[in-house]
Structure 1
Amino acid sequence: MSGALLFGIDHYVVLGYERVIKPRQSISVNFGRASLPKPVSINTDSFQVQKDQKRNGYNFSIDYRFYLASENKHHAPHGLYIGPYYSYNKFTNDKQWAHTNNSTTSNINTSTKFNIHTVGFELGYQFIFWKRLALDLVLAGPGLGFYNYKATFDSNISPDAKKQLQEALKQLLTQKFPGMNYVFSDKTLDANGVMKTNTIGYRYIFHIGFNF
């Protein structure tokens, strides 16, 4: 549900399953579609987004939960929990750009791939209402994120135009993705169209589910 608020419900549909394996321990797995929404606007001197040709992606995550006996009167999956997690996101996006140069307009296509691996430790609480309705909140999930962004172009363009287009692609990435302004604040795409870094990651989610 938290991802749907950030990316839009038509771009984020992730389903999860939690299995209790001991009275106070469980394992949780989530998988589904997660693609970035359209940006509001992109500002460069000579490039404009012409159309979105493809926007795809998916999310996978897994965590192992320890429901704290000293803090909970209920058995799993109800109560306060801690545990390690791993999350993977992949986003792909193909766009067509209109390039204006000396009153002449041409089209340039770009293809981008963005991969995020995050490992960390989380603190959360899961409520069970009326023995069936589950509300799962990950309250804190600090970790280490590994970010890799790659852009390719389908035609030859001048170095100056390529630099402008790379800046536009960075705007696309940071405009609608929370935290990417911080992650890539001092990064630019290299000669191969790659931008990557390792830095602090974070996980915050809430899920609504059914307990059976």
Structure 2
Amino acid sequence: MRKLLLTVLLLGFGVLHAQSPSSDSLMYPNIVRWNLTPFLVSSPQSIVLGYERVLSEDQSFSVNVGHVQFPLDLNWIDSTSEYVGTERNTGFSFAADYRFYFRDRNADPAPSGVYWGPFLTYYYFDQRHRFNYYENGNPEDVVVNNSIHAIAAGVELGYQFTLGDRWTIDLIFIGPAYGFYGIKGEVDGTFPNSVTEGEVYQRTRDFLIDSYPDLIKSFENGEFSSSGFGGTWGFNFRYVLQVGYRF
């Protein structure tokens, strides 16, 4: 997170004096871009690309889609179980927004300057975690398959810098959202008689929250059912740093 914020500050201050966009917003109405946020925050294997289409001097729409991975920097253990490793970690993300640029405040037409707009995001993660459960000092091998779904809608505020006629740097500073966050779990292997299947699911949820409280804090109030599904409604935030090219 600190790395992302530092990058935003450096890029933001660096391009403030480098803007010289064309006065015709429809000369290059298309923008293709690379969303750096998952790459910096989640994993170097996360690649998300985007496209923005300028519709007028003060409006546009954009979409982002790509492969994402849940970050893996885990070292979790409690009195009865121990995290051994993750054998599968893949995912998918989609986001779309409709932007309204503040024409009265911005010196240049879209896609340059301050904007606001509604947005929709969807994330899916597919994971396979291995744990050791202990009873009388003897470990039992347990594998938990998780699928995580998160869909949310909200309103964002951002600023897009234009460097010359072609390059852009897009920053979404804040994007409060409300949505549904769910986890589906399946257990493979045998676990101690003193531990129920529901407790294994709940332990996995606690493991994920303890490891990444900022990323999935919306799960804090959710509990797994006996079928291995847990979900909750809650608030979260969207923030984005992406570099684009106009054509």
- By the TM > 0.5 criterion, same fold? yes
Equivalent AA in structure 2 for residue 169 of structure 1? T
Once the two structures are superposed, what CA deviation does each residue of 1:77-133 show, in whole Å capped at 9, x if it has no partner? 111111110000001101222233223333211100110001111111100012222
- Measured after TM superposition, the shift of residue 45 of structure 1 is 2.1
Q: 1:104 aligns with which of 117, 121, 138?
A: 138
Partner SS, residue 41 of structure 2: helix
Q: Give 1:211's aligned residue.
A: 246
Partner SS, residue 204 of structure 2: helix
- In the aligned structure 2, how far is the partner of 1:50 from the partner of 1:40? 9
State whether structure 2 residue 118 is matched by structure 1 residue 90.
Answer: no
State whether structure 2 residue 148 is matched by structure 1 residue 114.
Answer: yes
Once the two structures are superposed, what CA deviation does each residue of 1:172-212 show, in whole Å capped at 9, x if it has no partner? 4222252423x233333222222211112221111112222
Q: Contact 2:151 / 2:181 at 8 angstroms: preserved in 1?
A: yes
Q: Give 1:176's aligned residue.
A: 212
- In the aligned structure 2, how far is the partner of 1:173 from the partner of 1:49? 11
- The structure with the greater share of residues assigned to strand is 1
Partner SS, residue 135 of structure 1: strand
State whether structure 2 residue 69 is matched by structure 1 residue 35.
Answer: yes
- In the aligned structure 1, how far is the partner of 2:133 from the partner of 2:236? 36
CA 1:74 to 1:117, structure 2 compared with 1: closer, same or farther past 3 Å?
same
State whether structure 2 residue 54 is matched by structure 1 residue 20.
Answer: yes
- In the aligned structure 2, how far is the partner of 1:122 from the partner of 1:37? 25
Alignment of 1:155-174 (within 5 A): 155=189, 157=191, 158=193, 160=195, 162=197, 165-174=200-209
- In the aligned structure 2, how far is the partner of 1:173 from the partner of 1:210? 37
Equivalent AA in structure 2 for residue 24 of structure 1? D
Equivalences, count: 210
Q: Give 2:162's aligned residue.
A: 128
- In the aligned structure 1, how far is the partner of 2:70 from the partner of 2:215? 14
Q: Give 1:138's aligned residue.
A: 172
Q: Contact 2:49 / 2:66 at 8 angstroms: preserved in 1?
A: yes
Q: Contact 1:39 / 1:172 at 8 angstroms: preserved in 2?
A: no
Segment drifting more, 157-166 vs 88-97: 157-166
- Measured after TM superposition, the shift of residue 38 of structure 1 is 1.5
- Measured after TM superposition, the shift of residue 164 of structure 1 is 5.2
Q: Contact 2:43 / 2:69 at 8 angstroms: preserved in 1?
A: no
- What is the TM-score with the length of structure 1 in the denominator? 0.89
Once the two structures are superposed, what CA deviation does each residue of 1:119-172 show, in whole Å capped at 9, x if it has no partner? 111111100012222110111211212111111112454363546533441234
- In the aligned structure 2, how far is the partner of 1:27 from the partner of 1:209? 14
Identity across the alignment (%): 27
- In the aligned structure 2, how far is the partner of 1:62 from the partner of 1:124? 14
CA 1:192 to 1:163, structure 2 compared with 1: closer, same or farther past 3 Å?
closer
State whether structure 2 residue 159 is matched by structure 1 residue 147.
Answer: no
Considering only aligned residues, what root-mean-square deviation do their CA atoms show, in Å? 1.9
Partner SS, residue 186 of structure 1: coil
- In the aligned structure 2, how far is the partner of 1:117 from the partner of 1:199? 10
Q: Contact 2:50 / 2:64 at 8 angstroms: preserved in 1?
A: yes
Partner SS, residue 42 of structure 1: coil
CA 1:39 to 1:170, structure 2 compared with 1: closer, same or farther past 3 Å?
farther
Partner SS, residue 22 of structure 1: coil
Partner SS, residue 178 of structure 1: coil
State whether structure 2 residue 100 is matched by structure 1 residue 58.
Answer: no
Equivalent AA in structure 2 for residue 141 of structure 1? G
CA 1:65 to 1:205, structure 2 compared with 1: closer, same or farther past 3 Å?
same
